[in-house]
Chain A
Amino acid sequence: MASASSAADRRGQGDGAGVAIDRLQGVERLRLQVFHRQAGAVEGLCDILGAVVPAAGRVTRIDGAELCWVGPGEWIVLCPPADAPGWLELPSRAASVCLAACSLMTDASATFEISGDRLRDLLARASTVDFSPGRFEPGDCMATRFAGIYAVLAWPATSDHVLLTVDRSQAEYLATWIKAVAADL
């Protein structure tokens, strides 16, 4: 996901001691859903996709996109803008094997990149999830309450950044909250 991690695409949100927070720009976000209660639906989607979608609690890189598991039969796709149409067409291509939907949520959401040696401390102040080493590692993903709001946390396997995706309308709140917490880290 080169464009996603490109420094030029980032807009700084402020750094605390030990953590760096950037709002990710230049990336499309999509919600991929499949009617998973139908036997073989997910496997059928994978066949069409030519890749295995991540299992519960995982984030996987597929064709330059990060797929974050957010619930049974549901993933958030973070991909370069040029790749979005291909993902949006996926349900049509898979129509013969499963019911699926892929919808744009770039406007509906905001993604922050968080990194730094105090990353786990920051996360532990926002959520009750166990973020200690061994419990939250690259490749892990979860949908949880973070700083009091719904958020998707994904740690791409080859990255030192954790991706934090929230509703767009709450991005300002979250940025302010993170700055306040980061100031005391």
Chain B
Amino acid sequence: MKRTIKRLPHARVNAQRPLRFRFDGQGFEGVEGDTLASALLANGQSVIARSFKLHRPRGVFASGKEETNAFVQLEPGPYTEPNARATLTPLYDGLCASGQNAWPNVRRDLGGCLGAFKAFLPASFYYKTFMWPNWRTWEGLVRRLAGLGRAPEVKDPQTYVKQNIHADVVVVGGGRSGIKAALEAAGDPKARVLLLDDQEELGGARLASPRAEDWAWLEQAKHRLANHDNITVLCRTTVNAYYVNDVLAALERLTNHHGPGGGEGPRERLWRIFAKRVVLATGAMERPLVFPNNDRPGIMLASAVRDYTHRYGLTLGDNIVFYANNDSAWRTALELVEFGVPVASIIDIRQTVDRELIARAAGAAIKVHLASAVVDTIGRDGVRRVLICKLLDGGKTLRRGAVSIDCDLLAMSGGWSPTAHLFSQAGGRLAYREADGCFIPTKTEAALTVVGRANGDFDEPLNTKPQWLTPDCSPSHQWVDFQYDVTASDIHLAARENFVSVEHVKRYTTNGMSIDQGKTSNVNGLAILSEVVGRRIDEVGTTRFRPPYHPTTIGAFAGVGLGEIYAPFQRLPAHDAHVAAGALFEDYGAWKRPVYYPRPGETEAMAIEREALAVRQGVGLLDYSPLGKLEIVGPDAQTFLNRIYLNNIETMKVGQARYGLVLNEGGIVIDDGVLVRLTEQRFLVHTTSGGVGAIQQHMERWLQTEWPELRVLVINATSQWATLMLTGPKARDVLLRLSSDIDLSAEAFKHMQFREGTLNGWPCRILRASFTGEVSFEISVPARHGRALWDALIDAGQADGVIPFGLESLMLLRTEKGYLHVGADTDGNTMPQDLGWALAIAKKPADFIGRRSLSQSVGLDPDRFQFTGIELDDPAARVTAGAHVLSADHRTTAGYVTSAYFSPTLGRTVALGLVAGAQNRQGQEVEIVFGGARQRGRLVKPGAYDPKGEILNG
């Protein structure tokens, strides 16, 4: 690659402002306005990267998003960014980049020897090889040798934001067509127009024009845009995704161009754009030609040569040769000569070319080789010569005898493809246009229009004559996807192995996958497939493009949602008290809840067993605030709940509490809890902590869609009340130490009763229900008093050794008692009869949701998985939830353990499970398997602790 000493005078760079940068440890100098790619080219750097699989030396291939070679590791340490396209990285002072996938560096890479083994590394070789002894043995080696950049290993110190925006018209692409579309839309002063462009400045392909009239047009257009208050222009913004309902995602690079830590504010912003109408003015991309060794450094797209010459002012070679199959490359070559950059030759596969172009080429002293094909390229770190042959039979065969042409830059053009990625993401259909050898947008249901070159409206005729593959040459060194080292032979192999769908071929060969997303390889790949399988290109079709169009920083997806606010969380009213008590928190839904309160040196098991034993022997306090609390109000509240719950609600008296089950229409148990009748027309319904939202929606759905005549209101009071569970044989003694107007005596306040009154002067509700098997008081006060109530009960319980206990300890206690936990001890098939509720179903006279399903044959199957206790023969044996209960054949599963803990009270493991036909198999022996170990046990009635319920009624 030729080093540029002096930039061309018409370039859009500030040659007076030098910028220093480093690449692979070497210092260089570029100028303001350069990209990293243009700066490296200006310094004569030809090898910038190594290919993914074969470590072939690669140079700059394009000048924008379509670049498939020049990926670099940008910056070291916490600011490092892998797979940064050098063509899209604006140069800044102090930029530091390095090559990827190479050792010791990209210029001299030991991995380059893999090229000798190319024949053994065809497409998807890893599916067929490295089988012995197993893939894992080889995986590390393969992953080290194949790959791109390295992900950062330390926290990114930069910040990112996410923002939503609404617009009436969103124009994607700030080239000539996009600017025109934006100005046209802005003619309606009420329309909010958003113009997005991924380059550093507006202009699109105009930025590569050397002509003063184009620059003047651009300046005038910018001025007109600025005069419209209803146009918002965002440059450095790439639209990466087009979702349903015309929602777009775009990444705005806010401060990247200042370098690490440079600039103020966030590094990037991820826009979620809600558009009423979208105009895609995304332009077109030039395709490479497929010929032997077309991937050498020094071979690049003709459009890139135009960019680097006119926009960045580079003279890339002394012997520039063009290789084309269409007119646009000729115009580029002629323009180069016009502005002082000599072109040696134009090789064209076409037999005939427009006479005017031929004449102009002759006038520019360009040698012309028509009906010729490049059959090889020579050069180690850069192209030095090309070998060409004459094409015969309309391009189907080659004449023997190659001619060598010296060149230090080969500019190729295989035609143009409209940039239709977003159109395809929007569900739009593409149609093949034979005349230009490209796919163009046709139909879409989205509210979008495509304009300009993106719509196949090229300024001047291309007269493209496709040549998808060079004939009479081995396909094994004709590259199609440069990034992934996919050659034409790989596509041939896929077809031989019967991968004939373009979607399958893409995945089998990796053609068009990953960073590249098929920008330059897609059409060539499917056209080669078309030739191999003997189907027309329009029959083969294209792959469906999917987001993201261009890689998006993961940090931008996260935005501020990191660390503590990674996800929304809910805090208990007495959260600080739990922190002070040393609680270990875990997430239960969004709630941060104490799991247990470990003491120094305690393991989880030790802490849980200590807490459970303390509750059994004394008293414990649990923060139960997330317990769902819905109030059902209205003259039809009883009727409504009688339909929602399996239980008979009509017999409930005011002040009475009753445990109930909620079923869905399929008869499946979806929730449980204690209902309380507050007044004749007001009920308090407790739900599971995680189920309150779903049950409220369930109720509203039935009220609003099925029973709109029922005069009922549903009120969610969950967060209004802090609820603490005081439980244990000494619970009443502790509670009595607080002042209250409620008679708390055992005689006056029995199990499954509810009282309202005051406690220490706070309004309170107390429910005598038990989930531990001990005497329990579920005490609710307004949430603001939750912390005070906690402190008061802890103080009052000091004499009795009250301890705070966590949810895991509660789970142990309820498992000892045999209480089921919906979600843990039930699954998506569990019906109430599986839980022993058949009698309750039979006794309820009224209809309820799910009842019909219970009587279907599936519900009557005696081998349904039914809720049961499981007792292990060996008291010292341990088992855990998820362990399988085996059938009589000792091989197949007959159920599984749903809850299991070691009970410090009973001195053995207590377990619950769902086992086939368990209700008729009580006492039978079973075998339980977990982690390879087998235990023997038998099915027993749930509730090993206090089976008669004498304790909780105390």
User: Which residue numbers of A lie inside 8 Å of B, CB to CB?
Assistant: 31, 33, 35, 37-38, 99-101, 103-109, 121, 124-125, 127-130, 132, 135, 147-149, 167-170, 172-173, 176-177, 180-181, 183-184
Contact = CB atoms under 8 A, between A and B. Distances in A.
Contacts of A104: 720, 782
B783 A103 contact: no
B754 to A, nearest CB: 18
B190 to A, nearest CB: 9
A128 B272 contact: yes
A132 B719 contact: no
Given A99-B711, A169-B573, 18 more contacts: A33-B713, A35-B711, A37-B708, A100-B713, A107-B721, A107-B783, A108-B717, A125-B559, A128-B164, A132-B192, A167-B570, A168-B719, A169-B719, A170-B570, A173-B565, A173-B569, A176-B564, A176-B565
Given A168-B783, A169-B719, A180-B560, A130 B274 contact: yes
Interface stretch (B141-149, B630-638, B640-648, B666-674): B630-638
Nearest to A91: B633
A110 B165 CA distance: 27
B575 to A, nearest CB: 8
B159 interface: yes
Contacts, number: 105
B568 interface: yes
Given A35-B713, A128-B274, A135 B166 contact: yes
Contacts of B228: none
Contact of B161 (A128, A148, A181): A181
A101 B631 CA distance: 10
B784 interface: yes
B567 interface: yes
A181 B569 contact: no
Contacts of B266: 184
B569 to A, nearest CB: 5
Contacts of A106: 782, 784
A141 to B, nearest CB: 18
A168 B718 CA distance: 10
Interface string B161-202: 111111000000000000000000000000010000000000
Contact of A99 (B561, B564, B635): B635
A108 to B, nearest CB: 4
Given A104-B720, A167-B719, A176-B564, A132 B713 contact: no
Leading 10 A-B pairs by shortest Cβ distance: A169-B570, A107-B783, A108-B719, A108-B720, A130-B166, A180-B560, A107-B782, A148-B568, A149-B568, A101-B713
B719 A109 contact: yes
Interface in B269-310: 272, 274
B624 to A, nearest CB: 14
Nearest to B634: A99
Interface in B585-607: 590-591
A105 to B, nearest CB: 6
Nearest to B264: A184
B715 interface: yes
B161 A125 contact: yes
Interface string B217-250: 0000000000000000000000000000000000
A149 B561 CA distance: 13
B252 to A, nearest CB: 13
B426 interface: no
A132 B272 CA distance: 14
Contact of A107 (B570, B572, B712, B719): B719
B560 A181 contact: yes
B954 interface: no
B902 to A, nearest CB: 33
A124 B163 contact: yes
Interface residues of B, number: 46
Contacts of B165: 124
A107 B568 contact: no
B141 to A, nearest CB: 43
B719 A33 contact: no
Interface of B: 159, 161-166, 192, 265-266, 272, 274, 559-561, 564-565, 567-573, 590-591, 631, 633-635, 704, 708-709, 711-713, 715, 717-722, 782-784
Nearest to B562: A180
A180 B566 CA distance: 12
Given A35-B634, A169-B591, A103 B570 contact: no
A132 B161 CA distance: 18
A184 B506 CA distance: 42
A147 B720 CA distance: 22
Nearest to A102: B715
Contact of A105 (B161, B274, B573, B720): B720
Nearest to A180: B560
27 contacts: A33-B713, A35-B634, A35-B713, A37-B704, A99-B711, A99-B713, A101-B633, A101-B713, A104-B720, A104-B782, A107-B784, A121-B163, A124-B164, A127-B164, A167-B719, A168-B783, A169-B571, A170-B569, A170-B571, A170-B590, A173-B565, A173-B568, A177-B565, A180-B565, A183-B159, A184-B265, A184-B266
B568 A147 contact: yes
A37 B636 CA distance: 14
A172 B720 CA distance: 16
Nearest to A145: B568
B715 A31 contact: yes
A166 B870 CA distance: 45
Given A37-B708, A124-B163, A177-B560, A103 B717 contact: yes
Contact of A108 (B591, B633, B718): B718
Nearest to B633: A101
Nearest to B271: A124
Nearest to B681: A99
A149 B568 CA distance: 7
Contact of B715 (A38, A101, A177): A101
Contacts of A33: 713, 715
A121 B162 CA distance: 11
A135 B192 CA distance: 12
A99 to B, nearest CB: 5
B633 A148 contact: no
Contacts of B274: 128, 130
Contacts of B783: 107-108, 168
A172 B165 CA distance: 27
Contacts of A132: 166, 192
A180 B560 CA distance: 6
Contacts of B265: 184
A109 B564 CA distance: 21
Contacts of A105: 717, 719-720
A39 to B, nearest CB: 12
Contacts of A177: 560, 565
Contacts of B161: 125, 181, 184
A90 B861 CA distance: 53
A87 to B, nearest CB: 15
Contacts of B719: 105, 107-109, 167-169
A100 to B, nearest CB: 8
A135 B166 CA distance: 10
Nearest to A128: B164
> Which of B572, B704, B709, B783: most chain A CB closer than 10 A?
B783
A105 B782 CA distance: 9
A129 B163 CA distance: 11
Contacts of B711: 35, 38, 99
> Which of A104, A129, A184: most chain B CB closer than 10 A?
A184
A107 B713 CA distance: 20
Nearest to A103: B715
B798 to A, nearest CB: 27
A121 B633 CA distance: 41
Given A33-B713, A104-B720, A184-B161, A169 B567 contact: no
> Which of B266, B560, B635, B709: most chain A CB closer than 10 A?
B560
A177 B568 CA distance: 9
Contacts of B564: 176
Contacts of B567: 148
